[in-house]
Amino acid sequence: MSSQYHDPANVTNPEHSEHHIIGPGTYILVYVSLLILTGLTVAAAFVDLGILNPVLAVGIACVKGTVVILFFMHVFYQSKLIKLTVTAGFFTFLVLITMTLSDYMSRAWGLW
């Protein structure tokens, strides 16, 4: 533990990362891939895939969301602290969904 010298920005901490500037090249790449994925999700909706339709739709949305978070929102270059924070948010969201759903699903077995 770095205890004895001054470290106001917590430079030695896992909570810290260097400020990273992302150039327009990366952004254009991300932008194009987001547009392609949007097209893909619309196209997929018109194909009958049964149960896979909603799974695919949500899956593509997750990929898009992750790309936005990682690059547009710079999380890919951020400290572990920020990464952990974002994960914690989605984890709590999933707790809300799954724990509540577990009640509704086990109340009507087989109907879900």
Q: Supply angle C-alpha 12, 14, 16, rounded to 5.
A: 70
Q: How far is the CB of 43 from another protein (least distance, A)?
A: 10
Task: Give CA–CA dist 103/91, Å, rounded.
Answer: 18
Q: In the window 55-84, what residues touch another protein (CB under 8 A)?
A: 57-58, 60-61, 64-65, 68-69, 71-74, 78-79, 81-82
Task: Give CA–CA dist 2/64, Å, rounded.
Answer: 39
The yes or no reply on residue 36 touching another protein (CB under 8 A) is: no
How many C-beta neighbours within 10 Å does residue 32 have?
A: 10
The yes or no reply on residue 21 touching another protein (CB under 8 A) is: yes
The yes or no reply on residue 10 touching another protein (CB under 8 A) is: yes
Q: How far is the CB of 95 from another protein (least distance, A)?
A: 5
How many C-beta neighbours within 10 Å does residue 71 have?
A: 19
The closest of 34, 59, 57, 62 to 44, measured between CA atoms, is 57
Binding site for another protein (CB under 8 A): 1, 3-11, 15-16, 19, 21-24, 27-28, 30-31, 34-35, 38-39, 41-42, 45-48, 53-54, 57-58, 60-61, 64-65, 68-69, 71-74, 78-79, 81-82, 85-86, 88-90, 92-93, 95-97, 99-104, 106-107, 112
